[in-house]
């Protein structure tokens, strides 16, 4: 069975989070050389009976899709993490379960992240979308751009809006979910739900019984029933890192947690690297805007978190988008992945220079890191002003916010 990379995602609710804010964060641990891009798609109306082409399969499109901003491995259709215009954020974790994931091409967990964002105006709506699509199409296929072997996984999701979060864990088409409205929650690459289950597949328990995994006599414990026999690890290192924060949790706290290599939350190993990160702040007061900070580059400890706000006229950011290979893309042709094209975008290439300096030259590296953090701090302070201001947001001022931040970062690295 393929080893699931140890990604982490978190959510913190008031009063643990500051000032009536819900704070969401995710590190995406993926193969070291994989490029992630940050892409915005505006809301759109679709023709009746039209199809949407996901990573491996086509499914029926819905009449209208919401505006979304996502961070995704550049070769696939879906997303590792992202947000929509209604303040819904979703992140996905690849997990191993007692039942091996299907290698047959179906929907990837990452496709379901994007479909949930495009079709759900609340966290619960997005959950309903994901489980309905699982029932109809199933999940399966290669999670990596690898011609030599198929790495397939089951999926877990953290789905968050301004009021609540849902942890959704899936095994094939079967699933269980827990609703969270307070405290902090961390999910990683293992099943975590136990006996508190707030929604589930109608046949979940009878399926577990039919497989001989649960006798029906003890209390039903989802992760005990569905985890692989050898799965004794826990995700607690991530949870502990966030829970031991004594102060209120802010955007800065979440960024610091995602940068923490000692705890294992920021992955930098021989095979895997945190290839992109996101932090979102969702004010419970609906009149304040949600703000989403994306790196678009690997290793958050050496990256700048850059803000994005949804407005009607968002300026696209080609410099954070990978080249498009159309139908010639080796990920779209069968047999798949026979070649690996260069998917690096302009921001990624500029950042490679910075990573090299930070790794090799101690004095220059320290200077560079200081300046990078200064750039990031300016962005965080400007966003703090927007959140605490009583004036309504001026859309013309933030439509090119992410564009300007990416542009400044590239110029600075050059």
Q: Phi, psi at residue 351, to the nearest 5°? A: -70, -30
pLDDT at residue 232 above 60? Answer: no
SS3 state of residue 95: strand
Q: Per the structure block, which two tokens stand in for 297?
A: 């580059």
CA dihedral angle for residue 224, residue 225, residue 227, residue 232, rounded to 10 degrees: 30
Structure tokens at 201: 């597949």
Model pTM above 0.95: yes
Q: d(Cα 268, Cα 299) in Å, to the nearest integer? A: 8
Task: Give burial (CB, 10 Å; 0-12/13-18/19+) of 215.
Answer: exposed
293 DSSP assignment: E
Q: Provide the token pair at 374.
A: 């200064």
Handedness of CA 306, 310, 314, 320 (dihedral sign): positive
Question: Which stretch of DSSP H or E encloses residue 45?
Answer: strand 44-45
Catalytic-labelled residue, pool 9, 188, 266, 405: 9
Residue 87 contacts residue 162 (beta carbons within 8 Å): yes
Give the start-to-end residue ranges of the domains of the chain: 8-413
Inform me whether the pLDDT recorded for 6 exceeds 70: yes
Cβ atoms of 184 and 12 within 8 Å: the answer is: yes
- pLDDT 10s digits, 11-45: 999 999 998 999 999 999 999 999 999 999 999 99
Q: How many CB atoms lie within 10 A of CB 410?
A: 16
- The string of pLDDT tens digits covering residues 38-82 is 999 999 999 999 999 999 999 999 999 999 999 999 999 999 999
Q: Does residue 405 carry a catalytic annotation?
A: no
Q: Is 264 exposed, middle or buried (0-12, 13-18, 19+ CB in 10 A)?
A: middle
CATH superfamily of 8-413: Penicillin V Acylase; Chain A (3.60.60.10)
- Residues 6+ away with beta carbon under 8 Å from 385: none
């Amino acid at each position: 069975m393929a080893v699931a990379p140890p990604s982490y995602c978190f959510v913190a609710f008031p009063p643990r989070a500051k000032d009536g804010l819900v704070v969401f964060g995710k590190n995406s641990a993926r193969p070291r050389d994989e490029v992630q891009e940050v892409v915005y798609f505006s809301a759109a109306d679709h023709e009746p009976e039209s199809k949407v082409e996901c990573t491996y399969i086509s499914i029926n499109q819905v009449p209208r899709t919401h505006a979304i901003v996502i961070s995704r491995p550049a070769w696939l259709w879906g997303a590792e993490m992202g947000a929509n215009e209604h303040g819904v954020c979703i992140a996905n974790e690849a997990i191993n379960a007692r039942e091996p994931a299907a290698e047959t091409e179906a929907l990837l967990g990452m496709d379901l992240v994007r479909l949930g964002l495009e079709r759900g105006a609340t966290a619960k709506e997005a959950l309903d979308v994901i489980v309905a699509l699982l029932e109809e199409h199933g999940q399966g296929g290669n999670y990596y751009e690898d011609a030599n072997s198929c790495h397939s996984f089951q999926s877990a999701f953290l789905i968050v809006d301004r009021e609540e979060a849902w942890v959704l864990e899936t095994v094939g088409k079967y699933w269980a979910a827990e609703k969270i409205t307070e405290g902090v929650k961390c999910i990683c690459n293992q099943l975590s739900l136990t006996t508190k289950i707030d929604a589930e597949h109608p046949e979940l328990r009878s399926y577990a019984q039919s497989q001989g995994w649960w006798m029906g006599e003890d209390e039903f414990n989802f992760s005990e029933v569905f985890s692989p026999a050898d799965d004794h690890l826990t995700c607690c290192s991530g949870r502990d890192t966030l829970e031991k924060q004594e102060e209120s949790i802010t955007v800065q706290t979440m960024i610091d947690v995602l940068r923490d290599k000692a705890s294992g939350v920021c992955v930098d190993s021989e095979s895997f690297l945190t290839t992109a990160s996101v932090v979102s702040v969702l004010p419970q007061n609906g009149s304040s805007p949600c703000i989403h900070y994306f790196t678009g580059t690997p290793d958050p400890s050496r990256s700048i978190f850059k803000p994005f706000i949804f407005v009607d006229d968002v300026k696209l950011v080609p410099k954070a988008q990978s080249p498009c290979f159309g139908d010639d893309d080796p990920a779209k042709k069968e047999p798949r992945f026979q070649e690996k094209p260069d998917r690096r975008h302009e921001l990624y290439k500029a950042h490679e220079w910075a990573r090299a300096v930070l790794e090799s030259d101690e004095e220059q590296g320290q200077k560079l890191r200081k300046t990078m953090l200064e750039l990031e701090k300016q962005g965080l302070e400007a966003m703090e002003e927007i959140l605490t201001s009583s004036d309504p947001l001026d859309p013309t001022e933030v439509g090119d916010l992410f564009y300007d931040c990416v542009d400044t970062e590239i110029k600075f690295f050059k």
